[in-house]
């Protein structure tokens, strides 16, 4: 059974490019998809066992989490959520935890748990409110575009009402769980997208819930790296020859999507390492890479937000230079501003062609 929500528009107001709502990808394995997989439009997975359900990720705010639970309600009847898994520390995957049943156990990797403490919900809430107010003011163009972009990105979410609920249980490496009659393995594969990424494997139905190791139809954002870890995680998905692959953002994935990501990260790693050793600043390196023939002739060029490459270039530079890998929040903001600047330049170049 598949219940597609009547999602005609994404949360950001774009026309939906694929069906949202609950998809039963295998017996008792559900994917709740949120078109178009942009910022905060994260997918959720459910493994429905006999009398118990495991849920994978919980949305960015409470209203969004409640909509998701309402869509999944037909399956949850008689099979309550007993286990909540957060695939990583970004808020769009765990700030809905408080909406899950109080009796459920919340689990993540120890590295993600540590990183969750550094996610600043109130700063994002304040920035969203400020951006909403500032968007109405006469501002210089450079500041104006940053403010209106921030308002468009964060505006659909209510961060003030989010009550953080941190995981009760952590692990490192891997953890096998029994949910009703189902066996599920959690496998830590970070640091890659974030410090403690994990993926969930339903061994009975051979389904992978990949979290943000998979962004489909858009450029992945590598905050932490190294790219090698991300490539290893992608190979782990391919090794299981999965019957279904649920990404963290975007429509259901195919094996070709996963191999495209392997080649993208190999290119990113090789090119950024070389340009770093040649002394090219990261912004210029990312701009060069996006205008290279390898990029423009690749399938990656069709992914949305190619400028997100800059985060991966900066992360690769930190690894090549042997810097401490943990990202400072100010560094993250600098990266986001750089991504925006690169996006504007890239769009201008595209128009000229
Ligand atoms: Zn995400």
- The pLDDT tens digits for 206-215 are 999 999 999 9
How much is the pLDDT for 329?
63
Least-confidence region, from 51-55, 132-136, 241-245: 132-136
**Alpha carbons 103 and 143: distance in angstroms, whole number:** 46
87 CA distance to ligand 1 centroid (A)?
Answer: 9
Give the residue, 335 or 218, on which the prediction is more confident.
218
212 CA distance to ligand 1 centroid (A)?
Answer: 6
Residue 50, pLDDT > 80, answer yes
Please report the domains of the chain, with CATH numbers, ordered by start residue: 1-117+166-253 (3.60.15.10), 121-154 (no CATH), 263-353 (no CATH)
What would the mean pLDDT of 117-137 be, rounded to a whole number? 74
246 CA distance to ligand 1 centroid (A)?
Answer: 13
CB contact at 8 A, 34 and 43: yes
How much is the pLDDT for 15?
83
Strands 21-26 and 29-33: antiparallel
305 CA distance to ligand 1 centroid (A)?
Answer: 14
How much is the pLDDT for 352?
63
**Alpha carbons 112 and 71: distance in angstroms, whole number:** 28
228 CA distance to ligand 1 centroid (A)?
Answer: 20
CB contact at 8 A, 48 and 74: no
What would the mean pLDDT of 80-104 be, rounded to a whole number? 97
132 CA distance to ligand 1 centroid (A)?
Answer: 23
93 CA distance to ligand 1 centroid (A)?
Answer: 6
CB contact at 8 A, 206 and 299: no
What would the mean pLDDT of 153-162 be, rounded to a whole number? 80
Show contacts of 67-72: CB within 8 Å, 24+ apart.
67/5, 68/32, 68/44, 68/96, 69/99, 71/3, 71/5, 71/21, 71/22, 71/32, 72/22, 72/30, 72/32, 72/46
**Alpha carbons 44 and 97: distance in angstroms, whole number:** 12
pTM (two decimals): 0.91
Give the residue, 164 or 124, on which the prediction is more confident.
164
Residue 5, pLDDT > 60, answer no
Instruction: List all residues 6 or more positions away from 154 whose beta carbon is below 8 Å from its beta carbon.
Output: 39, 40, 124, 127, 128, 131
Spell out which residues have Cβ within 5 A of ligand 1, the ion.
42, 90, 92, 212
Helix (H, G, I), strand (E, B) or coil at 251: coil
What are the backbone dihedrals phi and psi of residue 14, each rounded to the nearest 5 degrees, phi first? -85, 160
Instruction: Report the mean per-residue pLDDT for the chain.
Output: 90
Please state, as a whole number, how many other Cβ atoms lie within 10 Å of the Cβ of residue 249.
24
What would the mean pLDDT of 283-289 be, rounded to a whole number? 96
């Amino acid at each position: 059974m598949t219940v597609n929500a009547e999602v005609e528009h994404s949360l950001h107001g774009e026309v939906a490019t694929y069906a949202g709502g609950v998809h039963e990808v295998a017996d008792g394995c559900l994917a709740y998809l949120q078109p178009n997989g942009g910022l905060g439009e994260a997918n959720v997975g459910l493994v429905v066992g006999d009398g118990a359900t495991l849920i994978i990720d919980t949305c960015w705010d409470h209203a969004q989490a409640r909509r998701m639970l309402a869509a999944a309600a037909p399956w949850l009847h008689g099979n309550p959520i007993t286990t909540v898994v957060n695939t990583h520390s970004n808020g769009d995957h765990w700030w809905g935890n408080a909406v899950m049943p109080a009796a459920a156990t919340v689990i993540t990797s120890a590295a993600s748990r540590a990183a969750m403490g550094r996610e600043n919900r109130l700063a994002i809430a304040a920035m969203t409110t400020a951006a909403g107010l500032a968007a109405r003011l006469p501002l210089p163009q450079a500041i104006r575009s940053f403010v209106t972009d921030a308002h468009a990105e964060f505006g659909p979410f209510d961060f003030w009402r989010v009550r953080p609920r941190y995981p009760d249980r952590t692990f490192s490496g891997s953890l096998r769980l029994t949910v009703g009659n189902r066996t599920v393995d959690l496998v830590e594969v970070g640091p890659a997208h974030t410090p403690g990424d994990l993926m969930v494997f339903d061994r009975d139905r051979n389904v992978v819930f990949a979290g943000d190791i998979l962004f489909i139809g858009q450029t992945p954002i590598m905050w932490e790296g190294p790219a090698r870890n991300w490539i290893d995680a992608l190979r782990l998905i391919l090794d299981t020859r999965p019957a279904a692959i649920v990404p963290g953002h975007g429509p259901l994935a195919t094996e070709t999507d996963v191999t495209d990501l392997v080649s993208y990260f190999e290119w990113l790693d090789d090119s950024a390492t070389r340009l770093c050793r040649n002394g090219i600043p990261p912004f210029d390196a990312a701009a060069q890479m996006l205008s290279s023939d390898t990029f423009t002739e690749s399938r990656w060029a069709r992914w949305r937000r190619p400028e997100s490459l800059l985060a991966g270039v900066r992360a690769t530079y930190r690894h090549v230079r042997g810097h401490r890998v943990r990202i400072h929040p100010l560094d993250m903001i600098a990266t986001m501003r750089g991504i925006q600047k690169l996006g504007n330049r890239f769009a201008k170049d595209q128009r000229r062609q």
